[in-house]
């Protein structure tokens, strides 16, 4: 039964997390990234606070402090940087692949912070994974003509999400997921709305496309993706949750190809395959983790499935 629940939760996390990159392209076609995020989180916060009030879930000051930190890292900095990058022209599939380096970064950071063991093979896997992302970015640079510093935005977002994931383990929040998300979404709404007001474009575009993007990102990306992420982190640990995120690049690339006609280049496929090898190397031997993350990571077959998925996309 536990394996079935883990499989469903993992699949939901991959699909719903991918929806965030697609929603970013939908929304930034209508408004700046910070305006999209301001109204996305305002809508989400109102709904979540109302739900928590109805269920009589009340936060303590300790919970507010913890989730303010996590929300700033996992939502404000992560999404602010990533979606701004997509709005400036970074394809959603490339942004997803950069974000998918997070499992490697989290595992390396865990070895330093918590003493989790990481061997030479895992270090090699990290380097190969970075090389795979570099191939994709290099190919995209030649095709899209973007300035390379733009790609530092999703990189910064990935590092912020990694820090937030480690923070989940360090701070070990115990609040119900709905209450956790209500606090974090409220912090994000205030942050992004302040940004939008200062930038002078807080008013939402009165278009059907912007409204559809808000509904998409609130329902699928905020409630669905982040709720699934918190659930998997608490149930199976941050390393397993982070590794699952590596399955999002082929899912996102396929989705972007179907919805927007984004090209899937040979550079993209090659980079995915190289990065998949890196993750397979990293997962070659189980890690010894702390009490908050005792379940082993996915087997190398998970990385192999990425390559298989990528091959299907090119057909």
Q: pLDDT tens across 240-256, in order? A: 776 677 677 777 878 88
| CA nearest to 6, candidates 251, 302, 300, 231 | 231
Token match 């205030």: residue? 190
Q: State how far the Cα of 16 lies from the Cα of 170, in Å rounded to an integer.
A: 25
Specify the pLDDT at position 297: 32
* pLDDT score recorded for residue 303: 31
Position 247 scores a pLDDT of: 72
pLDDT tens digits for range 14-61: 889 889 888 888 999 899 999 999 999 999 999 999 999 999 999 999
For the segment 15-24, what is each residue's pLDDT rounded down to a tens digit?
898 898 888 8
Q: Please report which confidence band the pLDDT of residue 80 belongs to, taking 50, 70 and 90 as the band edges.
A: very high
- Asked if 75 contacts 41 with a C-beta cutoff of 8 angstroms, the reply is yes
Give the tokens for residue 182: 């209500």
User: Could you tell me the two tokens for 304?
Assistant: 């192999």
pLDDT for the residue 294: 35
What pLDDT score was predicted for residue 94?
A: 81
Give CA–CA dist 91/88, Å, rounded: 9
Classify residue 263 as left (phi > 0), alpha (psi -120 to 50) or beta.
Answer: beta
Cα(277)–Cα(34) distance, integer angstroms: 36
Structure tokens at 15: 């699909």
C-alpha 244, offset from chain centre: 10
Token digits for 303? 């990385």
Number of Cβ within a 10 Å radius of residue 198: 10
Cα(28)–Cα(95) distance, rounded to whole angstroms? Answer: 14
Please provide the average confidence, as pLDDT, over all residues in the chain: 79
Q: What is the pLDDT of residues 82-123, one digit of tens each?
A: 999 988 888 887 888 788 777 778 877 877 777 777 677 777
Q: Which residue has the higher pLDDT, 73 or 93?
A: 73
Model confidence at 141, pLDDT cuts 50, 70, 90, reads low
Confidence of residue 282 (pLDDT cuts 50, 70, 90): low
**Rounded Cα–Cα distance for residues 36 and 27 (Å):** 6
pLDDT at 38: 96
Categorize the per-residue pLDDT at 179 as very low, low, confident or very high, splitting at 50, 70 and 90.
Answer: very high
pLDDT, mean of residues 246-269: 78
pLDDT at position 311 is 29
């Amino acid at each position: 039964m536990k394996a079935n629940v883990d499989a469903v939760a993992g699949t939901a996390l991959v699909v719903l997390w991918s929806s965030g990159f697609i929603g970013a392209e939908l929304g930034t076609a209508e408004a700046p990234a910070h305006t999209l995020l301001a109204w996305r989180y305002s809508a989400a916060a109102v709904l979540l606070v109302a739900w928590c009030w109805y269920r009589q879930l009340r936060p303590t000051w300790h919970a507010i402090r913890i989730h303010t930190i996590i929300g700033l890292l996992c939502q404000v900095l992560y999404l602010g940087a990533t979606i701004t990058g997509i709005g400036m022209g970074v394809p959603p599939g490339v942004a997803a692949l950069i974000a998918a380096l997070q499992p490697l970064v989290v595992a390396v950071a865990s070895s330093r912070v918590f003493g989790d063991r990481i061997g030479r093979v895992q270090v090699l896997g990290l380097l190969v994974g970075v090389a795979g992302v570099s191939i994709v970015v290099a190919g995209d640079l030649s095709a899209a003509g973007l300035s390379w510093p733009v790609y530092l935005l999703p990189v910064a977002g990935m590092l912020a999400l990694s820090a937030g994931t480690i923070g989940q383990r360090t701070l070990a929040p115990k609040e119900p997921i709905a209450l956790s998300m209500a606090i974090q979404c409220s912090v994000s709404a205030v942050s992004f709305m302040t940004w939008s007001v200062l930038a002078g474009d807080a008013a939402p575009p009165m278009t059907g496309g912007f409204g559809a993007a808000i509904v998409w990102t609130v329902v699928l990306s905020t409630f669905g993706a982040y709720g699934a992420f918190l659930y998997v982190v608490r149930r199976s640990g941050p390393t397993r949750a982070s590794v699952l995120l590596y399955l999002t690049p082929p899912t996102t690339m396929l989705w972007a190809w179907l919805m927007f006609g984004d090209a899937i280049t040979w550079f993209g496929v090659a980079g995915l395959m190289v990065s998949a090898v890196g993750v397979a190397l990293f997962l070659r031997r189980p890690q010894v983790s702390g009490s908050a993350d005792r379940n082993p990571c996915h087997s190398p077959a998970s990385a192999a499935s990425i390559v298989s998925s990528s091959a299907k996309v090119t057909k």
